[in-house]
Structure 1
Amino acid sequence: MRKISIFKHGVKSIKDEELANSLDLNDAVSQFKMRCIAKNLSKKTTKWYIEQITLFKEWLKDKEYSTTISQITGEILLQYVLYLTMEKKNHTGNNLSPATINSHRRALSAFFNFLYNRGLIKNSPMKYVEKQKEPHYTIRPLSEKQIKALLSLPDMRTFHGYRDYVLKIS
């Protein structure tokens, strides 16, 4: 007789629990990619998810953390966010913006929610990782002088110039 355990999302056999405890990140990413394709997500979205998860996987390997899904904790994910915040640089050599870091977080959150919903993990470790506060930018309106300069640019003698002028005043 097989031992049965009850999770939030249904009844799982002990075999499924053993699988969840030994599931490697590479296998989980393959399952996640198949789910993205089955959901008919765009190729760009699927590629973006996989790229973000791959960056996380490489970071885990660099830090010599286990890539077994059950070993990835909220604390490890917080350390990864700290790495993104303090050490990771963008293509211009600057620190990543909070919006970029939140984008990494969204991809990992989607991945771990997938694992949770499939019953492969008992809790999503992403629930311990909060969004970073993003700065609120105020857009300054153009001055009257700037508006006049902008409207004087199109050549009103041509079709394209007149069209551009009409679009700007609309």
Structure 2
Amino acid sequence: MNDFEFHLDQFMLHCDAKNLSRKTLKSYEQTLRLFQFFLENECKVTEIKDVKSWHIKKYISHLRDRGKYTVTANENTKVYNHPDKRIDLGREISDTTIANYLRNIKVFFNYLFQSGDISENPVKGIPVIKPKRKQKELLDPMEIKRLLSAMDVTKFHEYRLWLGVRLILDTGCRVGELLELKPQDLDLKYNAMLVRNPKNNKQRYVYFSKRMSNDLKRWLKYRDRFSDSEYLFPTIRGTKQNVSNFEKTLKNIGDSVGISVTPHQLRNNFAKYYLLNGGDMASLSRILGHSSIDVTMKAYLDFTDDQIRQKYQRHSPLDNLKL
């Protein structure tokens, strides 16, 4: 075990002790092992104290040049990940991904500096990368109807997807939160449900419509004929659904009717329709589980000019005051 490896292991133990989510831990380890691979093979650096700011800047430049899935932190993962078969192999790595890599590297070296393991912090003075946000398309009502109509609700897995899509559109929950739901999380009397966020281990209540309440009652009766699983939307075997499988199935259904759609886009559409229909930013922020209204505004205020026009016409002071 070389010096970098030792400090990386210590950092991962520190993160594990903080009870960070498995997804966050995986992101840190994957990022830092790829950076370690670069330092050893491109810069011949194995000692933490020898890492300088220019190494990190060179790595960022390297990421922009090398393309997706051309390097792996663990050769053993190729057996089941098959990066050589991915259709996006070699494509340009997005600024969002590079920004995430840099953020993880900054967290690592800030930890080492604060704990006294290094006397100079190589990430000091390296600016964060602020990727330009892509405006997420707002699906119109006819597109949503077409998407839902493409699902065969006589089949267990498509009925499950149909209801999952409707629930995200009605509550704005994340797909990871959706798949964590259990029947006892539902309060059908008050049309509320307890949502657990596996990313930060926090929970909150969100609310659903009367129409969704009826949908859920029907689903519970249907589901109980097929499964006694602890999960509200289980696999046919009763286990918890995998997020990537949900995303893949949704994508395939969307592609079949010419609609490009992701679970996060549905969450984004919930937020926009909530605001377009007169909802306020403060309550939206709580429903979405954001840490502040600023987070909500940054994430969801990318309306098109036409959407702003429609919202204005609905809330025009002159029209509503009838002057």
Measured at CA, do residues 128 and 137 of structure 1 come closer, stay the same or move farther in structure 2, by a change above 3 Å?
same
Measured at CA, do residues 46 and 145 of structure 1 come closer, stay the same or move farther in structure 2, by a change above 3 Å?
closer
What secondary structure sits across from 1:32 in the alignment? Answer: helix
**1:11-66 deviation line (CA, Å, top 9, x unaligned):** xxxxxxxxxxxx81111112112211221223332232111111001111111422
Between the aligned partners of 1:67 and 1:114, the Cα distance in structure 2 is 18
Deviates more, 1:89-98 or 1:52-61: 89-98
Deviates more, 1:108-117 or 1:80-89: 80-89
Tell me the residue number matched to 1:7.
none
Structure 1: runs of 5 or more not aligned = 1-22
Between the aligned partners of 1:154 and 1:43, the Cα distance in structure 2 is 32
Question: Superposition pairs for residues 84-95 of structure 1, below 5 Å?
Answer: 84-90=63-69, 92-93=88-89, 94-95=91-92
Structure 1 position 106 matched with structure 2 position 85: no
Question: How does the TM-score come out when normalised to structure 1?
Answer: 0.68
The offset of 1:145, in angstroms, is 5.0
Aligned length: 145
Measured at CA, do residues 107 and 152 of structure 1 come closer, stay the same or move farther in structure 2, by a change above 3 Å?
closer
The offset of 1:133, in angstroms, is 3.3
Question: Superposition pairs for residues 29-44 of structure 1, below 5 Å?
Answer: 29-44=8-23
Measured at CA, do residues 149 and 86 of structure 1 come closer, stay the same or move farther in structure 2, by a change above 3 Å?
same
Tell me the residue number matched to 1:76.
55
The offset of 1:107, in angstroms, is 1.3
Structure 2: runs of 5 or more not aligned = 70-82, 153-158, 171-208, 210-323
Measured at CA, do residues 143 and 126 of structure 1 come closer, stay the same or move farther in structure 2, by a change above 3 Å?
same
Measured at CA, do residues 138 and 45 of structure 1 come closer, stay the same or move farther in structure 2, by a change above 3 Å?
closer
Between the aligned partners of 2:148 and 2:33, the Cα distance in structure 1 is 48
Structure 1 position 117 matched with structure 2 position 106: no
What secondary structure sits across from 1:126 in the alignment? Answer: coil
The offset of 1:147, in angstroms, is 5.7
The offset of 1:119, in angstroms, is 0.9
Structure 1 position 48 matched with structure 2 position 45: no
Between the aligned partners of 1:31 and 1:97, the Cα distance in structure 2 is 30
Tell me the residue number matched to 1:133.
130
Between the aligned partners of 1:142 and 1:44, the Cα distance in structure 2 is 29
Measured at CA, do residues 145 and 122 of structure 1 come closer, stay the same or move farther in structure 2, by a change above 3 Å?
same
Higher RCO by CA contacts (8 Å cutoff, separation 6 or greater)? 1
Between the aligned partners of 1:43 and 1:151, the Cα distance in structure 2 is 32
